[in-house]
Amino acid sequence: MGSKSATSPTVRAGWGMLGAWMMASAVAAPQATKPSGCLIEPEQVADVGSPVTGVIERLPVALGDTVDAGQPLAMLRADVERATAGVAALRSQVDAEVKAAQANVVLARQKVDRARQLLAQDFVSAQAVEQAVAEAEVASQKLKMAQNQQRIYGQEQAVAQAQLGLRTLRSPIRGVVVERYNNVGERVEDRPVVRVASIDPLRVSLMVPIAQYGQVSVGDTMSIRPELPGLDAVRATVQYVDKVVDAASNTFRVRLALPNPGHRLPGGLRCKADWGSRQAGIQPPVPATPNTSAVRPAISRPAPADSLRRDKPARPQTVRWNPGTSHVRSERLLLLRPSLKLSPARHQARQPAPATTSAPSGVAVLAQAPLAYSFTLSAMR
């Protein structure tokens, strides 16, 4: 059997796959060291526009200015909105209604106390006390109404301030102003006014052949050489490896982060990525998972209906099976409990080993003698 397994179709297929893999590796090796073309782009580009229609009143930034996140880029005319916000602020500060309602509550409670005293001296009827109590309750409700109205005025002020804030365009990111689409006095509707680009860090994009898939991972670093005279190669870190391959070009996308302190590199440069200088990054440690293979909880399965009879217990059977023979057919076997035992054939096990030679190893026994597998099957009737 050992000689047959050496030329079996499975073994031949395995050697064929190994040879194909070695040839593919030999072909892909020189390609991996060849520099790949890439493009250096801004990390983020934002076209800042206005959510409302208006006329530009001020443009405090110019091309090339460095702006921070939240810095004003343009202001629209907001005379009406500014006046509305002032009125709302003044209204929210007026508390005369609240104070008047508080005074009415105090007066109504005093009237209730005097009415109860007079009722105790039989000078007034119980109806007069009930009327005083009702007036005190009405005064208390009016006080709550005035307080709620004061809160509403505060919310109206917030709305007016938000509408006024829409008239100011602010930068969403930290970067450089690279374009101004409008000037002072022009009407703004649905087009952007200013473009801001974040160039620290820069983003390096390259398309890699599918033959190199799996050779680069997140965290790796490689040398990037910009196509600009006087600039040396710089190191960039892989941030993203595409999980979807472009079927048309048979390539996948890789993105790297390139630090750019002082904005010494402009965006939009072509570059070359040197695969020979790639260095594997430090991967985060994988938390150890508990080994559950050593101790497995017992799985309880419902027993067949026939096995619940006490008058017919299970009868274990032993079946011998040799490779190449047909499978054991038994329609009455319901539950299998395999007990695997590897042993030489019965007729070879009875032959004594020569005394002059040492006992063959386990591998030699498996290769020289046919094997018989013994399974203990429990038959449930």
173 contact partners, CB below 8 Å, separation of at least 6:
44, 46, 69, 196, 198
pLDDT the model gives residue 13: 53
| pLDDT tens track for 50-99 | 999 999 999 999 999 999 999 999 999 999 999 999 999 999 999 999 99
Token pair 């996140």 is found at: 69
378 contact partners, CB below 8 Å, separation of at least 6:
314, 315, 316, 317, 335, 336, 337
Count helices and strands (H / E) in the chain.
Answer: 7, 16
Per DSSP, 184 falls in state T
Count Cβ neighbours within 10 Å for each residue of 76-108 and write b for 16 or more, e otherwise. bebeebeebbeebeebbeeeeeeeebbebbeeb
| Overall average pLDDT of the 300-311 stretch | 48
Per DSSP, 336 falls in state E
| Overall average pLDDT of the 308-323 stretch | 51
Instruction: Give the sign of the dihedral formed by CA 116, CA 122, CA 126, CA 129.
Output: negative
**Alpha helices by DSSP H, the chain:** 2-6, 9-32, 79-93, 96-120, 126-165, 346-349, 362-368
Rounded to 10 degrees, the C-alpha dihedral 151/157/163/169 comes to: -110
pLDDT the model gives residue 326: 45
pLDDT the model gives residue 141: 95
- The C-alpha R_g of the chain, in whole angstroms, comes to 43
Q: How far apart are CA 70 and CA 75, in angstroms?
A: 13
| pLDDT tens track for 183-237 | 999 999 889 999 999 999 999 999 988 988 888 899 999 999 999 888 889 999 9
Q: Check residues 288 and 90 and name the one with the higher pLDDT.
A: 90
- What pTM was estimated for this model as a whole? 0.57
Residue 293 has pLDDT above 70, yes or no: no
201 contact partners, CB below 8 Å, separation of at least 6:
43, 257, 258, 259, 260
Q: How far apart are CA 300 and CA 158, in angstroms?
A: 65
Per DSSP, 152 falls in state H
Count Cβ neighbours within 10 Å for each residue of 65-75 and write b for 16 or more, e otherwise. eebeeeeebbb
